[in-house]
């Protein structure tokens, strides 16, 4: 029972919820851009393609703390856009948008890197056929590309979600550690630990670990479904219908 | 629709895929683009279909400049070697795709779509498969679905990129004949890319032989086979024996066989080779021609192929000769037998080519 004797009562319920919201928000934002990037890299030839690939990998190479510092530099009170943001009463740093931005940056490569090989393996002929049959770019993407990558995409989102929940460095810099507002679970673990509140720290850490285990279970599930569903033979009909129309 | 290419050129980096191609395809023709891999035939097809933009030159559809038309506006149907069926859709949905993605104004009603798809599936003899997925069909069936899908949008041009390349030879033969019949019935303009000379000769009205991004020769199949303009075309269209042509005392010889006055060898080169197809080699008694030894006998259905080691020729380069089964049954050539060779036809090219 001592586990729940953490400082303020509200926070106990809020921390996991916040983490979940953050994971969801950033996943949503994190899905579109990397899918677009992966599509461009896998299916098209254009100038600056290798530059784009480098850009996708950048978050892997850069320490998340540096990413956080860059966000402070850009959006902070004394940063490049700090003044104009303040004038419009938009809070980025030390608020939820900052956390979401930092998480998007850190998780960006997960989905793109997951999708590029899947898309490359599938080749361009499906898309070319769709275009020759008169489909527009959007129709081609929604009706042909997306259904073919949906399991890979879900897998990427899952990995991205796991990373988002656990992200420490970048978020630590931009969040401001405001309890009940911008604190996240990993940050909270650190605070509790620094306050010598070991029990609570380990409790929250355990909760985080549990979420990780759930993620792993989800990942195993997808890996188990994927090869079967890729063959498309066993695909229940109603499912394909929903995707097509 | 008639198609014309004018000076079409396409580079991939430093590599010239096609170079200054001029080509005319008449309305309703079935043309084969034939060449080894890397000859630019697929690139040319993709340029016509709008999947690639040429670096220079023009593509004309019915005389109109279509070089920059988007692919959707060209009224072309594509069929790829690997079928490219949409895996997550049934056969019916695959064929209906081109109709369903039309703009609302132009889109036929669901009922019209159903009738049309059923008609097309009947045409390719796959009505029973309408609710199957691609994974449940054989290669030949998949390719027929791909054809039906391409035809659903009433293309004026059908572009086929090695359509039968992934199929076994029996199915390939059947589909070729079927495609030819379909083409004759429906009268669209078709271009088929292939590296299989037999396929090109069997199916097409016109064969265009490509090599290293350029047209080597274009013509009707029989003419290309019988009167190749270059050693490349000659070699590419079937088995050949290659022998050096030697000049002695103002005469030209293949081995000991006197073929012409040296002055008549108008190849512009002093080193020449003669190309002779296996069925152009005649076999008789030793005294009747160039003496040779039979080193291999292979009976291949109606024909029999003999490997002959001609006297004075390197042992590891035997010549191939083909004779009919009946003749073989009558004369029974056996290993080690001595025979005399003569050539019914040959063609001489400069050796460098």
pLDDT digits (tens, 9 = 90+) for B259-286: 877 666 666 667 888 899 999 999 988 8
Q: In what order do the strands lie in the sheet with B157-161?
A: B76-79, B157-161, B189-194, B30-34, B206-211, B214-219
On whether any CB of chain A is under 8 Å from the CB of B156, the answer is no
On whether any CB of chain A is under 8 Å from the CB of B92, the answer is no
- When the pLDDT of each residue in chain B is averaged and rounded to a whole number, the result is 89
What does the alpha-carbon distance between residue B191 and residue B252 come to, in Å, rounded to a whole number? 42
Residue from B77, B88, B150 to probe the interface with A (highest A Cβ count within 10 Å): B88
Residues 130-149 of A with CB under 8 A from B: 130-136, 139, 143-144, 147-148
- Residues of chain B in contact with residue A148, where contact means CB-CB under 8 angstroms, are 87-88
On whether any CB of chain B is under 8 Å from the CB of A213, the answer is no
Angle made by CA atoms A43, B32, B79, in degrees to the nearest 5: 35
Closest CA to B49 of B11, B21, B80, B7: B80
Residues 94-133 of A with CB under 8 A from B: 123, 125-126, 128-133
Q: Do A148 and B88 touch (CB under 8 A)?
A: yes
What value does the mean pLDDT take over residues A201-205? 90
Distance from CA of B128 to the nearest CA of A (A): 17
A47 → chain B, closest CA residue: B13
Per-residue pLDDT tens digits for B185-237: 888 899 999 999 889 998 999 999 999 999 999 999 989 988 899 999 999 99
Higher pLDDT, B4 or A83: B4
Q: Do B97 and A232 touch (CB under 8 A)?
A: no
Dihedrals phi, psi of B240, to nearest 5 degrees:
-140, 150
Exposed, middle or buried by CB within 10 Å (0-12, 13-18, 19+), for B237? buried
Closest CA to A135 of B184, B86, B316, B57: B86
| Residue in the block written with tokens 């991939």 | B12
What pLDDT score does A219 carry?
80
What pLDDT score does A10 carry?
42
In sequence order, which residues have a C-beta less than 8 Å from that of residue A101 and are 6 or more positions away?
A71, A75, A92, A174
A235 → chain B, closest CA residue: B88
> Could you give the ipTM of this predicted complex?
0.80
Exposed, middle or buried by CB within 10 Å (0-12, 13-18, 19+), for A15? buried
Per-residue pLDDT tens digits for A127-183: 999 998 989 889 998 999 888 888 888 888 888 888 888 888 888 888 777 777 777
pLDDT beyond 50 at A238: no
- Residues of chain B in contact with residue A131, where contact means CB-CB under 8 angstroms, are 51, 71-72
Closest CA to B71 of B85, B57, B54, B51: B51
Nearest-by-Cβ selection for A139 from B76, B87, B101: B101
Per-residue pLDDT tens digits for A17-34: 455 555 555 555 567 778
Per-residue pLDDT tens digits for B102-153: 888 889 899 999 999 999 999 888 999 989 998 999 988 999 999 999 999 8
**What are the helix (H) ranges across B211-324?**
221-226, 231-236
Closest CA to B131 of A235, A148, A144: A235
Per-residue pLDDT tens digits for B140-165: 899 999 999 999 988 999 999 999 88
On whether any CB of chain A is under 8 Å from the CB of B332, the answer is no
Nearest-by-Cβ selection for B88 from A123, A136, A232: A232
Nearest-by-Cβ selection for A125 from B71, B80, B93: B80
Q: Do A240 and B88 touch (CB under 8 A)?
A: yes
Quickly count: other Cβ atoms within 10 Å of residue B158's Cβ: 23
What pLDDT score does B46 carry?
92
Nearest-by-Cβ selection for B84 from A125, A136, A231: A125
**Which tokens belong to B142?**
């998949």
Distance from CA of A147 to the nearest CA of B (A): 7
Whole-Å CA distances, A72 to A64, A77, B43, B113? 13, 8, 50, 57
With beta carbons less than 8 A apart as the criterion, state whether B182 and B155 touch.
no
DSSP state of A143: I
Closest CA to B156 of B64, B280, B255: B64
Count interface pairs A-B at CB distance under 8 A. Answer: 83
Kindly write down the DSSP assignment for every residue of A45-69, as one continuous string: --TTHHHHHHHHHHHHHS-HHHHHH
Nearest-by-Cβ selection for B72 from A134, A231, A243: A134
pLDDT beyond 80 at A36: yes
What does the alpha-carbon distance between residue A97 and residue A181 come to, in Å, rounded to a whole number? 12
| Local confidence band at B168 (pLDDT 50, 70, 90 cut-offs) | confident
Q: Do B150 and A143 touch (CB under 8 A)?
A: no
In sequence order, which residues have a C-beta less than 8 Å from that of residue B118 and are 6 or more positions away?
B127, B130
Q: Do A148 and B89 touch (CB under 8 A)?
A: no
What does the alpha-carbon distance between residue B35 and residue B194 come to, in Å, rounded to a whole number? 7
**Which tokens belong to B283?**
């076999």
What does the alpha-carbon distance between residue B39 and residue B16 come to, in Å, rounded to a whole number? 10
- When the pLDDT of each residue in chain A is averaged and rounded to a whole number, the result is 76
pTM: 0.76
């Amino acid at each position: 029972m001592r586990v729940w004797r953490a400082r303020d009562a509200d926070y106990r319920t809020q921390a996991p919820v916040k983490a979940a919201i953050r994971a969801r928000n950033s996943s949503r934002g994190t899905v579109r851009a990397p899918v677009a990037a992966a599509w461009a890299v896998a299916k098209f030839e254009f100038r600056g393609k290798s530059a784009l690939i480098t850009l996708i990998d950048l978050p892997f190479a850069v320490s998340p703390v540096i990413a956080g510092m860059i966000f402070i530099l850009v959006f902070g009170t004394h940063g490049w856009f700090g003044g104009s943001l303040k004038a419009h009463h938009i809070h980025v740093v030390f608020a939820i948008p900052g956390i979401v931005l930092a998480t998007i940056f850190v998780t960006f490569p997960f989905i793109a890197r997951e999708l590029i090989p899947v898309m490359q393996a599938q080749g361009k002929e499906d898309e070319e056929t769709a275009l020759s049959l008169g489909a527009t770019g959007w129709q081609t993407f929604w009706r042909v590309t997306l259904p073919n990558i949906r399991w890979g995409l879900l897998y990427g989102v899952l990995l991205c979600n796991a990373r988002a929940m656990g992200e420490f460095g970048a978020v630590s810099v931009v969040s401001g550690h405001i309890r009940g507002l911008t604190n996240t679970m990993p940050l909270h673990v650190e605070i509790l630990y620094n306050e010598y509140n070991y029990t609570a720290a380990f409790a929250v850490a355990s909760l985080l670990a549990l979420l990780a285990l759930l993620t792993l279970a989800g990942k195993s599930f997808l890996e188990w479904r994927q090869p079967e569903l890729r063959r498309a033979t066993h695909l229940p009909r109603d499912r394909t219908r929903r995707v097509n129309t | 629709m008639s198609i014309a290419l004018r000076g079409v050129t396409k580079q991939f980096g430093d590599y010239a895929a096609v170079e200054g191609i001029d080509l005319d395809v008449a309305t309703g023709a079935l043309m084969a683009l034939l060449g080894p891999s890397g000859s630019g035939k697929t690139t040319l097809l993709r340029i016509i279909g709008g999947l690639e933009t040429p670096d220079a030159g023009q593509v004309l559809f019915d005389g109109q400049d279509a070089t920059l038309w988007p692919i959707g506006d060209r009224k072309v149907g594509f069929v790829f070697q690997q079928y490219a069926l949409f895996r997550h859709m049934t056969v019916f949905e695959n064929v209906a795709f081109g109709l369903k993605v039309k703009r609302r104004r132009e889109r036929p009603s669901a009922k019209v779509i159903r009738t049309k798809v059923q008609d097309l599936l009947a045409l390719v003899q796959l009505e029973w498969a309408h609710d199957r997925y691609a994974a449940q069909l054989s290669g030949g069936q998949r390719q027929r679905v791909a054809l039906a899908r391409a035809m659903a949008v009433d293309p004026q041009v059908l572009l086929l990129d090695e359509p039968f390349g992934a199929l076994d030879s029996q199915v390939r033969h059947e589909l070729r004949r079927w495609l030819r019949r379909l083409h004759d019935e429906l009268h669209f303009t078709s271009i088929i890319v292939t590296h299989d000379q037999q396929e090109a000769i069997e199916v097409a009205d016109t064969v265009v032989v490509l090599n290293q991004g350029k047209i080597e020769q274009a013509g009707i199949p029989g003419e290309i086979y019988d009167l190749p303009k270059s050693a490349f075309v000659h070699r590419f269209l079937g088995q050949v024996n290659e022998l050096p042509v030697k000049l002695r005392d103002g005469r030209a010889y293949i081995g000991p066989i006197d073929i012409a006055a040296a002055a008549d060898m108008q190849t512009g080169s002093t080193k020449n080779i003669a190309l002779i197809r296996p069925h152009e080699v005649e076999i008789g008694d030793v005294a009747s021609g160039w003496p040779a030894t039979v080193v291999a006998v292979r009976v291949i259905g109606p024909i029999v192929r003999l490997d002959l080691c001609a006297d004075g020729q390197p042992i590891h380069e035997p010549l191939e000769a083909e004779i009919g089964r009946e003749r073989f049954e009558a004369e029974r050539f056996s290993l080690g037998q001595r025979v005399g060779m003569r050539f019914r036809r040959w063609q001489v090219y400069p050796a460098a080519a």
